[in-house]
């Protein structure tokens, strides 16, 4: 059986610089795959390329049996490829519930008419999906709130819930832990792990070693746009190339942990 | 040869475009605002110059030589106030009778500088962190304000014209120019050379002085410039002054050609010139302006050839040249145009959905029926004007409010619906014995003709919407602003298309739907006295309101708001952004078309003046004051609009606030709304305040902070 998501030689060029350089990645159905790398390694560009937000200059992407290179972002989303954004990008003047609703319910040519004449009833399927997404993200009771009235950690979860509301086949998470403190980050890890029980495959991007090592089954490491290593968490933890490129020579898990804690503190003091 | 002469003749107006364009560039770089009021500043300067230098014809004993400050004395001349000799704001200041040209020039430019400073301090500085729509609306407000105040202060007096030196219209033309056997106005070469000299000086200042350098620094990176010790707001203020002085210069140089009021619409060509310079290059704007003038003039010359198609009249060409330039430049550059890195884009106004629309609509309909029964024919007409305005503003709620697309052209689409409806239902015969003109047409029966008119509006609306797929925000506002002029000259005033004997007056046929006469005019008295029309308008407005409410409540409305909020995220959530945007343009144009239909059924005749750019912008202004995101806002806007209930009522009861002041009041209200309600408008803000007060009185601790948040001053808009 072919993998759910497969990229072959995926290359993204920004004015002579290869932000992604012949990237080959496979994500099997039902797995939890991570992509780590230092800041500026090209991780977000990779998600943008898969979801159609930046044009690729070479290579192919297959998703769920479709060649999706020519598809527009919304068409890829309709195939079940959902993503979150590093910088939230919520619909700030829609309530939490409406944010999810935009993603949860597909429309067609007669939607306008059924809206205007109020013929359309809310699909019970959609209701169920909505409730499920709210529950998974732990947002039950906050449906009517505006995202801007929520603390940062919960806003991140609204982004996650919105991606989930479409009940995607593959969920691409772009640095979900950025801006969260350690406790929130750990809680998020728990939420994420639960996703697998709901038949959703997850592809997680982060530079937070601790989070990625703790939740993923398989990990790719990217540096300067290239995949420099891949393997199980144990293999990555001990891979010399990864350690030198990413963690520094004397690295170990201890350092990763303390770095993570430091980051949590500095983010709390930050403008967020 | 004609074309070559056309080229040279076009350099005259081209020079004015060039100087105006350079001013737009300077204001944009200084503060990130495209100043739609730029042409109006030039017009005010031209009026000031004229007032100083010339004597209105027919007013014996009047010497001129006065200036009028850009405001009016708001205290009405009621008996007791007058008796108390309360002199409030000085307005007219007498300088001297017949001042020399240099003095008049100096005073005029000082006036322009003063206006520039006021614009900065009172409008654009307070709006610096507001959402884009608020900034656009703010500059539209200034435009309406200056135009209205100019008509209050200077009136429609025709002036004998005194330009100066070679710029005077009395100067002998250059005969047999370059052996082409044609006379060129003597001012033309002087204008072109002036534009080049002024452009060079300004360019040198911005290129080589410390001030120019720091402006460019602040333009590139506002925060960085602040950290280096430059005050971006001081720089912005200075740039506003320079920009306005350039506008004043353009105004003074121009007045030998036509009445100052025409200058306001030079903004369209000036925008095109500035866009050639990518909104940042002064030489680009100068050469763009000169080139545009030449291009338009050559196009007009070309219409004299026999091969030129009839349906493209010369006026259309003159208006269309800048439109073509703007659309080509913007569309080709796509996303690459500079979006200035404004600090904090601000929040979009909320667009809450209504849970019980029938209550509100029912109360409104009852009120209208009640008024219709009490009112005399004059008031019935006021009432239907309000209904029409509400109908139109619903189209703005959908497009500007829900979808967030700043389109300024919708009023022209209402006009197109009117004109097409008339054309389709006409049969070349006189409708009334009083008609001067007849319209030829296929004599369609009425609901069908109305459908045709609305369909024409929708098709044109979709066409104008196409650029919106690639062009966003400010640039879309620019495109739609220039489209107003294009639609007016190319469609509404186009004789071959509209088939009218005169380009100005279209007698409207008498509408009959399914055997019922529903026009507003009583056939025998020619008064607006027909209850069936009021009922028809009321039903149309109620149904349209319901449509808009249901749209907002449904999936479509959510998707509109999602796109308004974040196009990237909407696409990631599976929303087809392009199709949804076109849907919004279509629905909005449909509603605008219905408003056009109501207008055609109300008036005995239609002229393109009914759909003038200023009228359309005033509609947007009042819709914004009422609240651009809600149906109740549209209703409030319709009540407030000029000719609507409030303005007529105040005209009757407060002699001080006559109709001519309504646009001044509206413009001030617009700016105040833009600054204080973050675009939510009066209706929504009042509703929220009321809710907050109820919460406060109950002593509920649910939302303790909401009262504070909402305590902003809102009520001074009316």
User: B482 and B613 share a domain?
Assistant: yes
Last residue of a domain, one of B304, B336, B368: B336
Structural contact between residues A69 and A139, judged by C-beta atoms closer than 8 angstroms: no
Q: How far is A80 from chain B (nearest CA, A)?
A: 9
Facing B554 at nearest CB: one of A53, A89, A120: A120
Residue A152 domain flag: yes
Residues from chain A contacting residue B547 (CB–CB below 8 Å): 116
User: B385 and B520 share a domain?
Assistant: yes
CB pair distance less than 8 Å for A74 and B574? yes
Facing B551 at nearest CB: one of A102, A116, A166: A116
How many folded domains does chain A comprise? 2
Asked if pLDDT for residue B480 goes beyond 60, the answer is yes
* pLDDT-derived band at B133, boundaries 50, 70, 90: confident
For A162, name the nearest residue in chain B, comparing CA atoms only.
B573
* pLDDT-derived band at B526, boundaries 50, 70, 90: low
User: A59 and A174 share a domain?
Assistant: yes
Residue of A86, A107, A163 best to disrupt the B interface, most CBs of B under 10 A? A107
Asked if pLDDT for residue B439 goes beyond 80, the answer is no
β-bridge mates for residue B184, sequence order: B174
Asked if pLDDT for residue B316 goes beyond 80, the answer is no
For Cα atoms B424, B426, B432, give the angle at the middle one, nearest 5 degrees: 150
Residues of B with CB under 8 A from a CB of A: 347-351, 547, 550-551, 553-559, 561-562, 564-566, 568-577, 583, 587
Tokens for B485, please give them.
Answer: 């002029």
For Cα atoms B590, B596, B599, give the angle at the middle one, nearest 5 degrees: 150
Last residue of a domain, one of A161, A180, A203: A161
What counts of helices (H) and strands (E) characterise chain A?
Answer: 11, 10
The domain containing residue A157 runs over which residues?
A: 92-161
User: A137 and A215 share a domain?
Assistant: no
How many folded domains does chain B comprise? 2
- B150 three-class SS: helix
pLDDT for B716:
33
The answer to whether A113 contacts chain B (CB < 8 Å) is no
The answer to whether A51 contacts chain B (CB < 8 Å) is yes
ipTM entry: 0.87
d(CA A123, CA A111): 13
The domain containing residue B639 runs over which residues?
A: 358-661
CB pair distance less than 8 Å for A112 and B562? no
User: B141 and B249 share a domain?
Assistant: yes
User: A116 and A196 share a domain?
Assistant: no
CB pair distance less than 8 Å for B565 and A92? yes
**How does the average pLDDT of chain B come out, rounded?**
81
User: A173 and A42 share a domain?
Assistant: yes
Taking only the tens place, the pLDDT of each residue in B140-171 is 889 988 988 888 888 766 565 566 666 766 67
For A144, name the nearest residue in chain B, comparing CA atoms only.
B352
| Residue B327 region by backbone torsions, left for phi larger than 0, else alpha for psi between -120 and 50, else beta | alpha
Residue B477 domain flag: yes
CB pair distance less than 8 Å for A72 and B571? yes
Residues from chain B contacting residue A116 (CB–CB below 8 Å): 547, 550-551, 554
- Distances from the Cα of B153 to the Cα of B47, B70, B260, B266, angstroms: 9, 8, 13, 21
CB pair distance less than 8 Å for B554 and A116? yes
The answer to whether A130 contacts chain B (CB < 8 Å) is no
CB pair distance less than 8 Å for A115 and B557? yes
Residues from chain B contacting residue A163 (CB–CB below 8 Å): 572
d(CA B43, CA B264): 6
Last residue of a domain, one of A145, A161, A177: A161
pLDDT for B487:
87
Element (H, E) at B135: helix B132-154
Tokens for B223, please give them.
Answer: 């925060």
pLDDT for A99:
94
Last residue of a domain, one of B618, B641, B661: B661
Residue of B336, B542, B555, B567 best to disrupt the A interface, most CBs of A under 10 A? B555
User: B295 and B377 share a domain?
Assistant: no
The answer to whether A240 contacts chain B (CB < 8 Å) is no
d(CA B320, CA B311): 13
Q: Which of B205-214, B256-265, B283-292 has the lowest mean pLDDT?
A: B256-265
d(CA B618, CA B638): 11
* pLDDT-derived band at B700, boundaries 50, 70, 90: very low
Structural contact between residues B242 and B5, judged by C-beta atoms closer than 8 angstroms: no
Q: What percent of chain B is modeled with pLDDT above 70?
A: 83
Structural contact between residues A18 and A12, judged by C-beta atoms closer than 8 angstroms: yes
Last residue of a domain, one of A161, A182, A207: A161
Residue of A68, A71, A112 best to disrupt the B interface, most CBs of B under 10 A? A112
Q: How far is B142 from chain A (nearest CA, A)?
A: 28
Taking only the tens place, the pLDDT of each residue in B576-598 is 999 999 999 999 999 999 999 99
For B578, name the nearest residue in chain A, comparing CA atoms only.
A74
Facing A93 at nearest CB: one of B351, B570, B571: B351
Residue B681 domain flag: no
Facing A93 at nearest CB: one of B565, B575, B587: B565
User: B68 and B169 share a domain?
Assistant: yes
Q: How far is A162 from chain B (nearest CA, A)?
A: 8
Residue B508 domain flag: yes
Facing B571 at nearest CB: one of A74, A93, A98: A74
Residue B552 domain flag: yes
CB pair distance less than 8 Å for A115 and B556? yes
d(CA A46, CA A48): 5
What is the SS3 assignment for B30-99? Answer: HHCCCCCCHHHHHHHHHHHHHHHHCCECCCCCCCCCEEECCCCCCCCCCHHHHHCCCCCCCCEEECCCCC
Residue of B554, B580, B594, B629 best to disrupt the A interface, most CBs of A under 10 A? B554
Residues from chain B contacting residue A113 (CB–CB below 8 Å): none
pLDDT for B698:
61
Please give the distance of CA B526 from its chain centroid, rounded to a whole number: 32
Residue A85 domain flag: no
Element (H, E) at B200: helix B187-208
CB pair distance less than 8 Å for B571 and A106? no
Residue A87 domain flag: no
Residue B717: which of B681, B678, B679, B680 has the closest Cα?
A: B681
CATH number of the domain bearing residue A213? 3.40.50.300
User: B556 and B438 share a domain?
Assistant: yes
pLDDT for A199:
80
User: A73 and A204 share a domain?
Assistant: yes
Residue B23 domain flag: yes
Q: How far is A55 from chain B (nearest CA, A)?
A: 14
Facing B558 at nearest CB: one of A98, A120, A148: A98
User: B585 and B491 share a domain?
Assistant: yes
Asked if pLDDT for residue B39 goes beyond 90, the answer is yes
d(CA B234, CA B215): 10
pTM of the model: 0.87
User: B501 and B557 share a domain?
Assistant: yes
* pLDDT-derived band at B486, boundaries 50, 70, 90: confident
Residue of B558, B578, B705 best to disrupt the A interface, most CBs of A under 10 A? B558
User: B19 and B58 share a domain?
Assistant: yes
Facing A77 at nearest CB: one of B547, B574, B583: B574
* pLDDT-derived band at B211, boundaries 50, 70, 90: confident
For A77, name the nearest residue in chain B, comparing CA atoms only.
B574
Residue B640 domain flag: yes
pLDDT for A92:
87
Residue A253 domain flag: yes
Q: Which of B244-258, B265-279, B359-373, B428-442 has the lowest mean pLDDT?
A: B428-442
User: A263 and A177 share a domain?
Assistant: yes
User: A13 and A68 share a domain?
Assistant: yes
The answer to whether A79 contacts chain B (CB < 8 Å) is no
Taking only the tens place, the pLDDT of each residue in B212-226 is 888 877 776 777 777
Asked if pLDDT for residue B515 goes beyond 70, the answer is yes
User: A174 and A70 share a domain?
Assistant: yes
CATH number of the domain bearing residue B547? 1.10.3470
- Distances from the Cα of B287 to the Cα of B10, B147, B450, angstroms: 13, 28, 45
DSSP of B334-392: GGGSPPP--S---PPPP-PPPS-HHHHHHHHHHHHHHHHHH--HHHHHHHHHHHHHHHH
User: A74 and A154 share a domain?
Assistant: no
Residue A180 domain flag: yes
User: B289 and B420 share a domain?
Assistant: no
User: A224 and A110 share a domain?
Assistant: no
Residue B64 domain flag: yes
Residues from chain B contacting residue A101 (CB–CB below 8 Å): 555, 558
User: A175 and A154 share a domain?
Assistant: no
The answer to whether A2 contacts chain B (CB < 8 Å) is no
Asked if pLDDT for residue B718 goes beyond 60, the answer is no
| Residue A89 region by backbone torsions, left for phi larger than 0, else alpha for psi between -120 and 50, else beta | left
Q: How far is A49 from chain B (nearest CA, A)?
A: 12
Residues from chain B contacting residue A115 (CB–CB below 8 Å): 550-551, 553-557
pLDDT for B81:
61
Residue of B394, B573, B576, B577 best to disrupt the A interface, most CBs of A under 10 A? B573
Residues from chain A contacting residue B355 (CB–CB below 8 Å): none
Residue B718 domain flag: no
d(CA B514, CA B510): 13
d(CA B247, CA B530): 48
The answer to whether A127 contacts chain B (CB < 8 Å) is no
pLDDT for B412:
95
Structural contact between residues B466 and B292, judged by C-beta atoms closer than 8 angstroms: no
- Distances from the Cα of B167 to the Cα of A244, B45, B254, B320, angstroms: 76, 16, 8, 27
- A148 three-class SS: helix
* List of residues 6+ apart from B711 with CB closer than 8 A: B689
Q: In B78-191, which ranges are E strands?
A: 92-94
Last residue of a domain, one of B289, B306, B336: B336
Taking only the tens place, the pLDDT of each residue in B115-131 is 999 999 999 988 887 77
Q: How far is B512 from chain A (nearest CA, A)?
A: 27
Counting Cα atoms < 13 Å in the Cβ hemisphere of B398 gives: 30
User: A187 and A75 share a domain?
Assistant: yes
CB pair distance less than 8 Å for B562 and A89? no
Question: pLDDT tens digits for chain A (272 residues)?
Answer: 688 999 999 999 988 888 999 999 999 998 999 999 888 888 999 999 999 988 899 999 999 999 999 999 999 999 999 999 988 889 988 999 999 999 988 887 788 888 888 877 778 888 899 999 998 888 899 999 999 899 888 898 899 999 999 889 999 999 888 878 878 787 788 778 778 788 889 999 987 777 888 889 999 999 889 999 999 998 988 888 887 776 654 444 555 555 455 555 444 443 43
Element (H, E) at A14: strand A5-14
User: B291 and B367 share a domain?
Assistant: no
Q: How far is A45 from chain B (nearest CA, A)?
A: 14
pLDDT for B467:
81
pLDDT for A47:
93
d(CA B366, CA B364): 5
User: B474 and B558 share a domain?
Assistant: yes
B686 or A56, greater pLDDT: A56
């Amino acid at each position: 059986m072919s993998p759910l998501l497969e990229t072959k030689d995926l290359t993204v060029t920004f004015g002579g610089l290869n932000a992604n350089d012949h990237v080959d990645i496979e994500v099997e159905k039902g797995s939890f795959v991570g992509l780590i790398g230092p800041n500026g390694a090209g991780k977000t560009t990779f998600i943008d390329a898969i979801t159609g937000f930046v044009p690729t200059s070479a290579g192919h992407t297959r998703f769920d049996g479709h060649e999706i290179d020519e598809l527009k972002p919304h068409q890829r989303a309709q195939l079940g490829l959902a993503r979150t954004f590093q910088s939230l990008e919520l619909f700030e003047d829609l309530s939490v519930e409406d944010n999810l609703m935009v993603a949860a319910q597909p429309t067609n040519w007669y939607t306008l008419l059924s809206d205007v004449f109020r013929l359309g009833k809310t699909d019970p399927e959609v209701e169920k999906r909505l409730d499920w997404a709210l529950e998974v993200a732990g947002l039950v009771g906050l449906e009517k709130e505006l995202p801007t009235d929520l603390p940062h950690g919960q806003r991140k979860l609204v982004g996650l819930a919105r991606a989930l509301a479409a009940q995607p086949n593959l969920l691409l998470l772009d640095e979900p832990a950025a801006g969260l403190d350690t406790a929130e980050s750990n809680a998020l890890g728990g939420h994420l792990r639960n996703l697998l029980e709901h038949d959703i495959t997850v592809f997680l991007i982060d530079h937070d070693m601790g989070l990625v090592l703790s939740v993923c089954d398989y990990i790719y490491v990217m540096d300067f746009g290239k995949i420099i290593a891949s393997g199980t968490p144990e293999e990555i933890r001990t891979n010399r190339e990864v350690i030198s490129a990413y963690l520094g020579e004397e690295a170990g898990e201890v350092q990763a942990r303390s770095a993570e804690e430091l980051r949590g503190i500095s983010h709390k003091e930050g403008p967020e | 040869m004609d074309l070559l002469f056309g080229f040279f003749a076009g350099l005259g107006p081209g020079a004015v475009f060039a100087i105006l364009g350079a001013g737009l560039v300077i204001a944009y770089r200084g503060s990130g605002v495209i100043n739609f009021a730029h042409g109006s500043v030039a017009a005010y300067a031209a009026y000031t110059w004229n007032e100083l230098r010339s004597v209105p014809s027919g007013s014996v004993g009047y010497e001129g030589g006065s200036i009028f400050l850009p405001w009016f004395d708001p205290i009405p001349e009621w008996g007791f106030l007058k008796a108390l000799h309360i002199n409030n704001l000085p307005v007219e200041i007498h300088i001297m009778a017949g001042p020399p040209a240099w003095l008049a020039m100096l005073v005029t430019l000082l006036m322009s500088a003063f206006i520039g400073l006021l614009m900065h301090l009172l409008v654009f500085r307070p709006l610096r962190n507001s959402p884009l729509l608020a900034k656009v609306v703010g500059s539209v407000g200034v435009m309406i304000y200056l135009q209205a105040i100019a008509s209050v202060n200077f009136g429609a007096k025709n002036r004998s014209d005194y330009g100066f030196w070679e710029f005077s219209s009395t100067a002998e033309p250059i005969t047999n120019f370059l052996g082409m056997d044609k006379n060129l106005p003597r001012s033309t070469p002087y204008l072109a050379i002036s534009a080049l000299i002024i452009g060079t000086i300004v360019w040198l200042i911005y290129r080589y002085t410390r001030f120019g350098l720091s402006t460019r620094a602040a333009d590139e990176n506002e925060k960085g410039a602040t950290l280096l010790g430059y005050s971006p707001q001081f720089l912005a203020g200075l740039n506003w002054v320079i920009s306005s002085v350039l506008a004043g210069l353009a105004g003074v140089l121009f007045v030998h050609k036509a009445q100052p009021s025409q200058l306001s619409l030079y903004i369209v060509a000036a925008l095109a010139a500035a866009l050639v310079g990518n909104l940042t290059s002064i030489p680009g704007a100068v050469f763009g302006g000169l080139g545009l003038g030449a291009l338009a003039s050559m196009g007009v010359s070309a219409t004299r050839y026999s091969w030129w198609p009839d349906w493209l009249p010369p006026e259309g060409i003159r208006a269309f040249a800048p439109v073509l330039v703007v659309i080509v430049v913007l569309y080709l550059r796509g996303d690459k145009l500079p979006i200035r890195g404004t600090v904090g884009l601000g929040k979009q106004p909320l667009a809450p959905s209504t849970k019980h629309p029938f209550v509100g609509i029912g109360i409104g309909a009852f009120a209208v029926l009640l008024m219709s029964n009490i009112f005399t024919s004059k008031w019935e007409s006021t009432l239907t004007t309000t209904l029409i305005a509400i109908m139109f503003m619903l189209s703005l709620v959908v497009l500007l409010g829900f979808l967030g697309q700043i389109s300024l052209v919708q009023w022209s689409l209402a006009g197109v619906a009117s004109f097409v409806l008339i054309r389709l239902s006409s049969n070349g015969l006189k409708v009334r014995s009083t008609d001067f003109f007849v319209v030829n047409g296929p004599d369609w029966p009425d609901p069908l003709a109305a459908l045709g008119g609305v369909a024409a509006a929708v098709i044109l609306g979709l066409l104008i919407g196409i650029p919106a797929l690639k062009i966003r925000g400010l640039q879309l506002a620019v495109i739609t602003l220039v489209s107003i002029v294009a639609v007016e000259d190319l469609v509404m005033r186009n004789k071959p298309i509209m088939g009218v004997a005169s380009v100005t007056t279209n007698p409207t046929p008498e509408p009959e739907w399914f055997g019922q006469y529903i026009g507003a005019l009583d056939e025998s008295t020619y008064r607006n006295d027909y209850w069936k029309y009021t009922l028809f308008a009321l039903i149309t407005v109620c149904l349209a309101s319901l449509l808009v409410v249901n749209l907002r409540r449904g999936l479509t409305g959510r998707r509109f708001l999602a796109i308004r909020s974040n196009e990237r995220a909407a696409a990631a959530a599976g929303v087809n952004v392009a199709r949804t945007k076109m849907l919004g343009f279509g629905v909005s144009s449909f509603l605008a078309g219905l408003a056009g239909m109501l207008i055609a059924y109300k008036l005995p005749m239609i002229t393109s003046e009914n759909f003038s750019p200023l009228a359309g912008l005033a509609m947007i202004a009042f819709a914004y004051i009422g609240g651009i995101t809600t149906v109740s806002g549209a209703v409030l806007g319709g009540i407030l609009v000029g000719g609507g209930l409030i303005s007529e009522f105040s005209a009757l009861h407060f002699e001080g606030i006559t109709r001519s002041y309504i646009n001044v009041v509206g413009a001030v209200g617009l700016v105040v709304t833009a600054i204080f309600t973050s675009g939510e408008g009066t209706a929504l803000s009042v509703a929220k305040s009321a809710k907050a007060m109820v919460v406060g009185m109950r002593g509920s601790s649910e939302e303790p902070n909401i009262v504070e948040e909402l305590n902003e001053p809102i009520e001074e808009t009316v």
